[in-house]
């Protein structure tokens, strides 16, 4: 269902991202959750794989044992923001995407993986 | 390397794999697991929790392991003992050893109509998914079989909203576990829950209705029981078909015949769990199965373990009724003595079976209050799922286990149905172990200590707090706790600056997140009193934004299905009409319910509505460790249910009686009478201090009832603090409440007036005009509801069936 692109899509100015709070963005029809934390910028799918709701951008960010994390706001499973891997449920993960900041603009590139 | 093929990935099959892998670190055995079900092993004992919103993931028992090949959806079809291979539809698996762990199937009596759509068994997660699906929109249900499983299924049907009956062939419920008198007591509880019972009668046919699905049961006495859904729980039979076809011996009542080492006559073939007939006897509980798994794992690595025999103790937390039966419950030991005790007032039935010299307890049955159970001696089972005795737990504690997670890891107690966890805590307490109060990995202190640190040091931000008193970046546990503490101490709007990043999504959007990612909106309706004009506005808003509308249990109206970007528009309309936030999203004061009181009611002795409105306005917006609820009744008839609230008020001829520490929810508790015949101002002072003291000293997510219970000295201590001022705190508590009342402002209005805060209410940061395409509705009973409801529901506090 995702249309993968190899180009960078500008999303918003960096200052639109409140520190430690996510936002949702639409990139080529895919819902992305974007975060700006003290550990940097992160982008993962907005779709919570456990519940099927598009809500991960609204989770609380933090850390677990040094790993930057976000917790699903619905049932609180925690994901590694760097890899998208769920730290609570074996075998569960969300796709992650590439994100960078250029000239004050946040840009996202979808990853090929389905 | 040798190969073991495990047939069946149920609870015991999985336990065998875990046990073997733990004993075989060098990997001498290569493990292949053939599983008929398409999901990896899950906790069947806790299956019913699925209906309380516990998802498949949470029930999962399987952890992936490189040394184990798990082949889901690939059942074994035959064992070829000559060629030493296990066959499946797609291939062959050579073996050095085979472990049969195929469990049981549900026995369905051969009555007409048993194959109709709408007739289910209660064994697998797929069965439960199908039951839930079929129950949707239907009204009545019936369970064939009144044993442990049948009653558990009946409660599940009740939770699904079906009017439910149980049909049992024996003359009492749970015939295997309890005796006649115990069964009679149990029946009274079951009746009271609205579950009908038909005892001592057989089901002769299952009938279909006009649409071809099941419509009812015909009983031998001519009765017809309406049922749009039927669950058959008439017993289980071991799945011994592979062994039988392979020419292995079976037990006298079925099951793969094995010796005390769980080995069949073929030395390469073993059987464990419900499919095994150890020395001829099958065991239908998980604990003996786990013991067999350990035996075979030990044998495969060269050990000499044998099956120790099984304790058949059962404990059932059913429909809020405790039922326990253990040991020789039916008194079959020659010469044994029974002592029975029946108390119709408290509705407790107990029977103890003693040896002929009355010195040894052989067994017993308890219905109504199984709390006597843990006072049994050291050999008594604490955890019946995993056959862990009190001695085992005490030994683990003596060996250094200092909390429940450690006990779980070390003894496995508490890892299946979970109903013994409170007992584990009691045993830790009894052993004098002080349990850690650390909030989470980021803070070593409890909420109460954190509150004092924040208050005394005057800290205003999470970042300062974690830098000085914690570590890491925080998490979904400590951040909302700190947010709540900061809010209780009056440090500005919950969405100001850094505080915004600490809030749970509900507080962040000042609305309640729903399962589909939309939100609900609950305007405050103090005391449940509302003018026609305001009612009309709510109706218009709901209509214009196409919101699902429902009267809540808190005497107000909830509007569901709002998208993030619609929230400010909805609030604008509501705020303009004089509404404000009802804090349904916050750990805060929810509602003060009222009865109509002396204004209209012929019995009322005080103005209960007036007081409820005043209290709700006084405490609105007050953030706390958990939600706070209240109610005011106008006379002792108690129509407002005040005694089920954190603080409840009941009018007397001369004033008000104050009750503290009640709640509904998961563990209902009536509030205790705290003070009588108070004037309104005396009453308000006491409530002010009660709430402020609670906010300062309670634990995270601890409601007032649990807080008072945990307090040393309980209600008397509370009285000494807030009435007699024994800690000299009252002036401070009074001042804190005065500050709260003074600084209150409506959180919705504050957002509407501030463009910076408003900016957060966008669907997509780069496409604020595009509504979230995943939120779509269909219509049910004339209102919009989410389409494609997902399999894992948001869990509400509901009773849970346990044994
Ligand atoms: C809407 C409502 C059901 C309804 O349609 O009637 C409701 C809905 C929710 N309840 Fe409730 N409860 C509602 C009345 C109640 C009541 C009855 C009452 O207040 O008189 C109770 C039992 C009384 C009590 O709390 O002691 C109740 C006991 C719970 C509990 C169990 C609390 C406990 O101590 O065990 C939870 C879970 C929790 O808070 O942790 C809960 C949680 C929830 C949550 C917030 C679950 C969640 O996190 O999503 C539900 C979402 C609300 C929403 O708007 O999206 N709800 N809930 C009721 C809202 C009342 C209101 O106007 O504010
Ligand atoms: C609703 C419910 C509540 C229960 N509550 C309790 C309780 O409170 N306490 C308690 O002690 N016990 C309880 N039990 C019983 C407990 O679940 C069982 O004793 C336990 O699951 C037995 O484990 P097992 O591995 O032997 O069988 P199972 O867990 O049934 O696993 C057997 C597995 O083998 C698979 N299988 C069968 N044939 C083949 C084949 N040919 N090839 C491959 N796979 C095959 C089956 O599909 C199944 O997945 C409860 C059971 C139910 C259904
Ligand atoms: S509690 Fe008393 S005053 Fe209130 S409605 Fe009931 S009977 Fe009337
Ligand atoms: S886990 Fe079920 S009794 Fe312990």
Taking only the tens place, the pLDDT of each residue in B491-503 is: 777 777 788 889 9
Establish if A61 touches chain B: CB-CB under 8 angstroms: yes
Quick check: B700 and B476 in contact, CB under 8 A? no
CA B351, B344, B383: angle at the middle one, nearest 5? 45
Contact B210, B339 (CB under 8 A): no
- Judged by a CB distance cut-off of 8 A, whether residue A97 touches chain B is no
DSSP state of B778: E
Above 80 in pLDDT, residue B703?
Answer: yes
Confidence at B801, pLDDT banded by 50, 70, 90 = very low
Judged against a pLDDT cut of 60, whether residue B155 lies above it is answered with: yes
Q: What is the pLDDT of residue B802?
A: 33
Q: What mean pLDDT do residues B422-449 have?
A: 82
Considering only CB atoms, B476 lies closest to which of A39, A50, A76, namely A76
**CB of B419 closer than 6 angstroms to any ligand 4 atom:** yes
Helix (H) or strand (E) holding B183: helix B180-192
Residue B636 has pLDDT above 60, yes or no: yes
What are the pLDDT digits (tens) for B558-596?
Answer: 999 999 999 999 999 999 999 999 999 999 999 999 999
Q: Are B100 and B16 in contact (CB under 8 A)?
A: no
Q: Which of residues 493-532 of B touch A (CB under 8 A)?
A: 498, 500-505, 508-509, 513, 515-517
**A100 to chain B nearest CA, in Å?**
16
- Minimal CA–CA distance to B751: which of B488, B562, B461, B496? B496
SS3 letters across B448-480: HHHHHHHHHHCCCCHHHHHHHHCCCCCCCCHHH
**pLDDT mean over B124-134:** 94
Average pLDDT of the residues in B657-680: 92
The Cα of A6 is separated from the nearest Cα of chain B by a number of Å equal to 19
Residue B320 pLDDT > 70: no
Q: From A14, which residue of chain B is nearest by alpha-carbon distance?
A: B765
Q: How far B50 CA sits from the closest chain A CA (Å)?
A: 14
Give the pLDDT confidence score for residue B18 in this predicted structure. Answer: 94
Contact A25 B792 (CB under 8 A): no
Q: Averaged over B687-709, what is the pLDDT? A: 92
pLDDT at B53 over 70: yes
Is the confidence at residue B113, as pLDDT, over 80?
yes
Angle CA B52–B55–B56, to nearest 5: 135
Residue B635 has pLDDT above 90, yes or no: yes
Band of the pLDDT at B313, cuts 50, 70, 90? low
In this prediction, what percent of chain B has a pLDDT beyond 90? 63
Whether B14 contacts B107, CB under 8 Å: no
Least confident of A49-53, B418-422, B529-533, B707-711: B418-422
Question: Which residue out of A17, A19, A20 would a mutagenesis test of the B interface target, given it has the greatest number of B Cβ atoms within 10 Å?
Answer: A20
pLDDT grade for B475, boundaries at 50, 70 and 90: very high
pLDDT band for B625, please (50, 70, 90 cuts).
very high
Instruction: Say if CB B559 and CB B546 are below 8 A apart.
Output: no
Query: Which secondary structure element, helix H or strand E, spans residue B224, and what is its range?
Result: strand B224-226
pLDDT tier at B48 (50, 70, 90 boundaries)? Answer: confident
pLDDT at B246 over 50: yes
Q: How many CB atoms lie within 10 A of CB A50?
A: 23
**Nearest ligand 3 atom to alpha carbon B597:** 3
Say which of B63, B473, B765 has its CB closest to residue A62: B473
Ligand 1 centre and the CA of B524: distance in Å?
15
The answer to whether B591 and B654 have CB atoms below 8 angstroms apart is no
pLDDT at B47 > cutoff 80: yes
Residue A31 predicted with pLDDT over 90: yes
pLDDT, tens digit (0-9, with 9 covering 90-100), for B247-263: 999 999 899 999 999 99
Give the mean pLDDT of B456-465. Answer: 88
Give the pLDDT band of residue A25 (cuts 50, 70, 90). very high
Closest by Cβ to B475, choosing from A62, A77, A92: A62
Full DSSP string of B66-132: TTEEEETT--EEEEETTTTEEEETTEEEE-SEEEE---EEE-----BTTTSTTEEESSSHHHHHHHH
Ligand 4 center–CA B416 separation, angstroms: 5
Pairing of the two strands B348-354 and B337-343? antiparallel
- Rounded Cα gap, residues A32 and A4, in angstroms: 13
Tokens 């060269």 correspond to what residue?
B302
Give percent of chain A with pLDDT exceeding 70. 92
Q: Report which protein residue has its CA nearest ligand 1's atom 37.
A: B797
pLDDT at B311: 64
pLDDT for B175: 83
Question: In the sheet where B140-144 sits, what is the strand order?
Answer: B119-121, B229-232, B140-144, B163-168, B196-199
pLDDT at B10 over 50: yes
Query: Of chain B residues 425-464, which have a CB less than 8 A from chain A?
Result: 441-442
Mean pLDDT over B401-410 rounds to: 83
pLDDT band at residue A84 under the 50/70/90 scheme: very high
Q: Which of A16, A19, A74, A76 to mutate to test the interface with B (most CBs of B within 10 A)?
A: A74
**pLDDT (mean) for A82-101:** 92
Query: What pTM does this model have?
Result: 0.57
Compare CB distances from A64 to B441, B513, B770 and report the shortest one's residue: B441
pLDDT on residue B543 = 96
CA dist A19 and B498 (Å) reads 8
Per-residue pLDDT, averaged over B158-179, amounts to 88
Confidence of residue A112 (pLDDT cuts 50, 70, 90): low
Q: What value does the mean pLDDT take over residues B726-734? A: 91
Which residue, A35, A9, A2, A33, is CA-closest to A113? A2
Whether B55 has a pLDDT exceeding 70, the answer reads: yes
Give pLDDT, residue B378. Answer: 72
Residue-wise pLDDT tens digits, B778-789: 999 999 999 865
Give bridge partners of residue B214 from the DSSP assignment. Answer: B208
Give the per-residue pLDDT at B315: 59
Coil vs helix vs strand at B154: helix
Residues of A in contact with B765 (CB under 8 A): 11-12, 16-17, 23-25, 34
* CB of B771 less than 8 A from some CB of A: no
Give residue B790's pLDDT: 46
Three-state DSSP state, B798: coil
Task: Read off the pLDDT of residues B746-765 as tens digits, 9 standing for 90 and up.
Answer: 999 999 999 888 988 999 99
Find, among B480, B473, B526, B475, the residue nearest to B506 by Cα.
Answer: B480
Which strands, in side-by-side order, build the sheet including B512-513?
A: B512-513, B519-521, B557-562, B548-551
Return the higher-pLDDT residue of B204 and B382: B204
Q: What's the confidence (pLDDT) of residue B699?
A: 87
Strand-pairing partners, residue B168, are: B199
Which carries the bigger pLDDT value, residue B615 or residue A65?
A: B615
* Average confidence score pLDDT of chain B: 88
Classify burial at B778, counting beta carbons within 10 Å of its beta carbon; exposed 0-12, middle 13-18, buried 19 or more. Answer: exposed
Could you give the CA distance from residue B468 to residue B442 in angstroms, rounded to a whole number? 11
Residue B56, pLDDT score: 83
Which range among B65-69, B88-92, B424-428, B651-655 shows the weakest confidence by mean pLDDT? B424-428
pLDDT at A45 over 80: yes
Q: What residues pair up with B199 in beta bridges, in sequence order? A: B168
For B348, list phi and psi in degrees, rounded to 5.
-115, 135
- Which pLDDT tens digit goes with each residue over B328-368? 777 777 777 777 766 666 667 777 777 777 677 777 777 77
Ligand nearest to the CA of B8: 2
| CB proximity list for B121: less than 8 A, separation 6 or greater | B105, B106, B108, B127, B231, B232, B233
Is the confidence at residue B800, as pLDDT, over 80?
no
Q: What is the mean pLDDT of chain A?
A: 90
Assess whether pLDDT exceeds 50 at residue B1.
Answer: yes
What are the two backbone dihedrals, phi and then psi, of residue A69, each rounded to the nearest 5 degrees?
-135, 165
pLDDT band at B414 (very low <50, low <70, confident <90, very high): confident
Strand runs labelled E in B626-752: 628-633, 647-652, 655-660, 672-678
pLDDT of res. B530: 97
Q: Give the separation between CA B704 and CA B627, rounded to whole angstroms.
A: 9
Q: Distance between CA atoms of B134 and B443, rounded to whole angstroms? A: 47
Q: Say yes or no to pLDDT of B648 above 60.
A: yes
pLDDT at B110: 87
């Amino acid at each position: 269902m995702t249309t993968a692109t190899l180009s960078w899509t500008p999303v918003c100015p960096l200052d639109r991202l409140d520190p430690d709070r996510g936002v949702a963005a639409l990139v080529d029809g895919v819902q992305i959750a974007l975060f700006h934390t003290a550990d940097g910028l992160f982008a993962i799918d907005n779709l919570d794989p456990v519940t099927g709701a598009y809500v991960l951008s609204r989770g609380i960010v933090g850390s677990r044992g040094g790993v930057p994390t976000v917790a699903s706001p619905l049932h609180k499973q925690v994901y590694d923001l760097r890899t998208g891997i769920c730290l609570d449920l074996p075998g569960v993960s969300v796709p992650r995407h590439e994100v960078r900041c250029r000239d004050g603009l946040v840009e996202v590139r979808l990853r090929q993986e389905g | 390397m040798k190969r073991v093929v495990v047939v069946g990935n149920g609870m015991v099959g999985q336990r065998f794999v875990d046990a073997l892998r733990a004993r075989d670190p060098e990997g001498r055995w290569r493990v292949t697991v053939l599983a008929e079900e398409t999901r990896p092993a899950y906790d069947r004992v806790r299956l019913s929790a699925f209906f309380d919103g516990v998802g498949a993931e949470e029930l999962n028992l399987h952890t992936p392991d490189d040394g184990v090949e798990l082949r889901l959806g690939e059942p074994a079809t035959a064992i070829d003992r000559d060629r030493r291979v296990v066959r499946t539809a797609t291939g062959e698996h050579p073996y050095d050893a085979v472990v049969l762990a195929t469990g049981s199937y549900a026995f369905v009596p051969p009555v007409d109509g048993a194959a109709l759509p709408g007739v289910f068994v209660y064994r697998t997660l797929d069965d439960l998914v199908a039951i839930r699906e079929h129950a949707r929109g239907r009204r009545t249900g019936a369970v064939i079989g009144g044993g442990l499983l049948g009653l558990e299924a009946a409660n599940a049907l009740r939770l699904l909203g079906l009017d439910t009956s149980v049909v049992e062939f024996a003359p009492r419920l749970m015939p295997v576990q309890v005796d006649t008198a115990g069964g009679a007591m149990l029946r009274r509880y079951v009746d009271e829950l609205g579950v009908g019972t038909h005892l001592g009668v057989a089901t002769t046919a299952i009938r279909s209705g006009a649409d071809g699905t099941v419509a009812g049961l015909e009983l031998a006495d001519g009765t017809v029981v309406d049922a749009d859904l039927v669950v058959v729980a008439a017993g289980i039979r071991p799945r011994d078909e592979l062994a039988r076809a392979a020419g292995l011996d079976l037990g006298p009542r079925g099951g793969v015949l094995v010796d005390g080492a769980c080995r069949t006559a073929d030395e390469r073939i073993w059987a464990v769990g419900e499919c095994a007939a150890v020395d001829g006897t099958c065991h239908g509980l998980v604990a003996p199965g786990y013991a067999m798994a350990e035996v075979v794992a030990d044998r495969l690595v060269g050990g000499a373990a044998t099956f120790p025999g099984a304790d058949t103790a059962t404990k059932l937390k059913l429909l809020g009724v405790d039922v326990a039966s253990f040991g020789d419950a039916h008194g079959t030991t020659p010469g044994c003595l029974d002592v029975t005790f029946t108390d119709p007032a408290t509705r407790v039935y107990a029977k103890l079976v003693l040896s002929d010299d009355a010195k040894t307890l052989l067994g017993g049955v308890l219905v109504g209050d199984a709390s006597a159970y843990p006072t049994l001696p050291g050999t008594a089972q604490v955890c019946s799922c995993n056959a862990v005795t009190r001695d085992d737990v005490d030994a683990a504690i003596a060996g250094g286990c200092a909390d429940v997670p450690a006990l779980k890891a070390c003894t496995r107690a508490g890892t299946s149905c979970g109903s013994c966890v409170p007992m584990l805590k009691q045993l830790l307490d009894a052993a004098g172990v002080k349990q850690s109060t650390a909030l989470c990995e980021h803070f070593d202190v409890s909420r109460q200590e954190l509150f004092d640190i924040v208050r005394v040091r005057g800290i205003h931000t999470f970042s300062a707090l974690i830098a000085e008193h914690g570590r890491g970046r925080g998490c979904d546990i400590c951040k909302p706790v700190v947010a709540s503490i900061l809010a209780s101490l009056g440090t500005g709007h919950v969405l100001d600056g850094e505080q915004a990043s600490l809030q749970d999504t509900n507080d962040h959007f000042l609305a309640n997140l729903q399962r589909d990612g939309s939100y609900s909106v609950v305007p405050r309706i103090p005391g449940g009193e509302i003018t026609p004009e305001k009612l009309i506005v709510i109706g218009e808003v709901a209509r214009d934004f196409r919101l699902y509308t429902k009267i809540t249990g808190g005497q107000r109206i909830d509007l569901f299905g709002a998208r993030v970007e619609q929230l400010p528009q909805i609030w604008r309309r509501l705020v303009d009409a004089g509404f404000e936030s009802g804090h349904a999203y916050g750990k805060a004061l929810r509602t003060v319910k009222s009865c109509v009181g002396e204004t209209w009611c012929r019995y009322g002795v005080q103005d209960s509505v007036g007081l409820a409105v005043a209290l709700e306005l006084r405490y609105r917006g007050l953030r706390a460790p958990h939600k706070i609820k209240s109610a005011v009744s106008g006379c002792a008839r108690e129509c407002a249910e005040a005694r089920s609230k954190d603080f409840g008020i009941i009018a007397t001829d001369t004033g008000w009686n104050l009750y503290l520490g009640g709640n509904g929810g998961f563990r209902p508790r009536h509030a205790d009478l705290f003070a009588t015949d108070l004037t309104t101002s005396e009453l308000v002072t006491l409530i002010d201090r009660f709430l402020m003291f609670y906010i300062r000293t309670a634990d995270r997510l601890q409601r007032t009832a649990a807080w008072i219970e945990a307090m040393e000295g309980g209600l008397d201590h509370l009285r000494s603090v807030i009435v007699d001022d024994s800690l000299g705190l009252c002036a401070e508590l009074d001042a804190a409440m005065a500050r709260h009342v003074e600084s209150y402002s409506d959180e919705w209005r504050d957002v509407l007036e501030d463009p910076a805060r408003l900016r957060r209410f966008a669907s997509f940061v780069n496409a604020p005009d595009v509504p979230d395409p995943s939120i779509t509705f269909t219509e049910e009973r004339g209102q919009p509801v989410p389409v494609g409801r997902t399999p894992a529901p948001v869990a509400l506090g509901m009773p849970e069936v346990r044994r």
